[in-house]
Amino acid sequence: MNELMMLVRRILSLLATLGIAIATPACGQPSPEQQRNAMVDDIARMARALSRNTGKDELDERVLRAMAKVPRHEFVPEAFRARAYENRPLPIGEGQTISQPFIVALMTDLAGVDADSVVLEIGTGSGYQAAILAELAARVHTIEIVEPLGRRAAETLERLGYDNVFVRIGDGYRGWPEAAPFDAIVVTAAPDEVPRPLLEQLAPRGRLVIPVGAPGAVQSLRLIEKDAEGRLTERDVLPVAFVPFTRETR
- What's the Rg (C-alpha) of the chain? 22
Q: What average pLDDT does this structure show over 132-141?
A: 98
Is residue 250 included in any domain, yes or no?
Answer: no
Give the DSSP H or E segment for 90.
strand 90-93
pLDDT at 216 over 80: no
Is residue 247 included in any domain, yes or no?
Answer: no
Q: What average pLDDT does this structure show over 189-203?
A: 96
Paired strand residues for 166: 141
Predicted pLDDT of residue 21 = 37
Catalytic residues: 99
- Any idea what the CATH number is for the domain that residue 153 is in? 3.40.50.150
pLDDT band at 68 (very low <50, low <70, confident <90, very high): very high
Is residue 100 included in any domain, yes or no?
Answer: yes
Is residue 22 included in any domain, yes or no?
Answer: no
Q: What average pLDDT does this structure show over 209-226?
A: 92
Task: Return the higher-pLDDT residue of 81 and 1.
Answer: 81
Domain count, the chain: 1
Is residue 141 included in any domain, yes or no?
Answer: yes
Q: Prior bond to 204 cis, omega within 30?
A: no
* pTM score, whole prediction: 0.87
Predicted pLDDT of residue 55 = 87
Is residue 25 included in any domain, yes or no?
Answer: no
Is residue 232 included in any domain, yes or no?
Answer: yes
Q: Which domain holds residue 226?
A: 30-240
What is the b/e burial string over 10-43, where b = at least 16 CB atoms within 10 angstroms of the residue's CB? eeeeeeeeeeeeeeeeeeeeeeeeebbeebbeeb
Predicted pLDDT of residue 2 = 42
pLDDT at 20 over 50: no
pLDDT band at 215 (very low <50, low <70, confident <90, very high): confident
Q: What average pLDDT does this structure show over 120-126?
A: 98
Is residue 127 included in any domain, yes or no?
Answer: yes
